[in-house]
Homo-oligomer: A and B are copies of this chain.
Amino acid sequence: MSDNITVRGFVATEIRSSTTPGGVATASFRLGATDRRYDRATSTWVDGNTNWFTVQGYRQLAGNLGCSVKKGQRVIVVGRLKMRSWEKDGRIYHAAEIDAESVGHDLMWGSANFTRTAGAGT
């Protein structure tokens, strides 16, 4: 079973909003998550590897991503990890996607003004 993951990182692209042929609103962006580890030799925190993900949101979350999240911001993403690969013109492409269930600005890095969507969650 593939479980939920939580990733904290920075938004590396603008939000791309779209609508599926079936009429479902979608939004997506690239997320970079850089490992931080404590280096005992120098007694400082240093950057490690950066993982890249394509984050996908749907429906109400898609709408709120489009009007709330900007390139460069720090966010928390909760969702399901999906590793995909496909072939095109004889080359194989790979992507690590997260089907997001929740996304939020990380308040460790700034402040935020929140406005509830009318009818959300009912």
Contacts and interface: CB of A to CB of B under 8 A. Distances in A.
B114 A68 contact: yes
Contact of A78 (B8, B101, B116): B8
Contact of A113 (B68, B102, B116): B68
The contact size tier of chain A is 35 or more
Contacts of A23: none
Given A6-B6, A68-B111, A112-B112, A76 B49 contact: no
A47 to B, nearest CB: 10
A67 interface: yes
Interface in A74-101: 74-76, 78, 80-85, 94, 96, 101
A107 B107 contact: no
B3 A5 contact: yes
